[in-house]
Amino acid sequence: MKEVFKGPLERVTDYCWRIPKSYKPGMRVDGLIYASSKQIRTIREDLAPEQVANVAFLPGIQYASIAMPDIHWGYGFSIGGVCATDPEEDGVICPGGIGYDINCGVRLVATNLHLEEVRPVLRQLVEELFKEIPTGVGRSGRYYFDKKELRHLMRDGVSYLFKKGLATQQDIDHTEENGKLVSADPDAVSDRALERGAEQCGTLGSGNHFLEVQVVDEVVDEAVALVMGIEVGQVVVMIHSGSRGLGYQVCEDALKSLRKATEKYSIQLPDKQLACAPIKSSEGQQYLAAMSAAANFAWCNRQLLMWQTREVFERFFGRSWQQLGMRLVYDVAHNIAKFEQHSVNNTVKTVCVHRKGATRAFPAGHADVPSSYRSIGQPVIIPGDMGRSSWLLVGTEGSLQKTFGTTCHGAGRVLSRSAAVKQAEGHHISKELEDRGVIARARSWKGLAEEMPAAYKDVDEVVDVVERAGITRKVARMRPIGVIKG
């Protein structure tokens, strides 16, 4: 029998629900879940809210343990989980609050192509992308970095690729954190992780990772869209991937170390998957350095995926990528921990913000928003499923006040991968997608079945909540027309 959450969920607003810290002895703060009344009924049907309550046990946690409307069960934290810890209050860093796929994230690439130009050649374009972009479990790519090069890449992030002629300054400027966490120390990364990453930078991977050719089918805020160079009918490309086997190994290595650290520092937790260490401890610093190195690898991975995509479009359309207008609109991280300044109880603090399946969403005027977007706010890219739509949003001041500058990261699963495969039995997924106007290619039927549209919540409903809750604002909606997956 499926376990359900039986604890309290008190309505705070129409789009916010509280798990009071009185629910479980040891909770240091309340839990807050952003969701509609309709969504909260579904959210109760698994134990993700229990995970929100468990995160509230973490030493040094500030204000609340928070979850977004795309919440579902994950390792330690729920997917969609957010928390901030204060290093000055024995705050911890927790791999479960970041995930195995460190800096899994998404980037949006504009083009000056329009649907009427691409539609007649779409199938051939998708085939060419599928042939040239490495996809699938363990798949290696065209870029190989030996250990020395890999260390430089993990230390310097996308600026290392800039020096090699594989990135532009605009690419760097339009990547969160300019594609580099300064806390990275490649020496903190194991040889096994280096081996796994040597041939995987510039590869898509499997699971929910994808490259989509999309068309902008609705612009909600024309003034903001204009600043980003987005208009109805325009063809864009969305790329979703992370740190591949290197990041997975960094997390695996850290969990072995931090399980012992949790005991060493007498940290009492309700779930062993929340293994953690004080940020200022040697164990905490070691993981922070390795996690940051893996995050830099992930930004380079998405940069190289974009670079290869530009090359495919160049050959296919017979024009340079610059002539095709293939600008990076923005790149956001979904699984990461970073030090940021936030106001907590009217005091500005430097806190470690954990985002696990959640997106930074800073408002207009914020110093960390690129100068080209500072008048409108940080672009926020929210992928949906491969049969419906994705969204482009911007951050608002409300995100700083309510969620440590954070919003949702996608649609969120409603079916596990195994459940999706079972439900897909007898279905011709690629044909069903084609009937919706989407050409899809994957390494296997199972790869498509695991990610079929029915496995996900409706992203329109998820995005509606974060806008109505006042933490992000809609700009434009894109729908997929071509998809490649592992």
Rounded Cα gap, residues 430 and 415, in angstroms: 19
Burial 234-244, CB ≥16 within 10 A → b, else e? bbbbbbbbbbb
Rounded Cα gap, residues 301 and 160, in angstroms: 12
Q: Which structure tokens are listed for 66?
A: 């928070």
Rounded Cα gap, residues 22 and 290, in angstroms: 36
With 0-12 / 13-18 / 19 or more C-beta atoms within 10 angstroms meaning exposed / middle / buried, residue 152 is middle
Rounded Cα gap, residues 444 and 457, in angstroms: 23
428 is catalytic: no
Strands 210-219 and 439-441: unpaired
Burial 123-132, CB ≥16 within 10 A → b, else e? eebbebbbeb
| 463 Cα distance to chain centroid | 15
Segment (H or E) for 336: strand 335-344
Other residues' Cβ atoms within 10 Å of the Cβ of residue 38: 10
Contact 179, 157 (CB under 8 A): yes
User: Following CA atoms 413, 414, 420, 424 in sequence, which dihedral angle do they give, to the nearest 10 degrees?
Assistant: -120
Rounded Cα gap, residues 14 and 165, in angstroms: 50
Query: DSSP secondary structure string, 59-92?
Result: TTB-SEEEEEEEEE--SSSPEEEEEEE-GGGT-E
Point out the catalytic residue in the list 114, 174, 409, 428: 409
Angle of CA points 450, 483, 150, to nearest 5°: 85
Residue 15: strand, helix, or coil: coil
The residues carrying an active-site annotation are 409
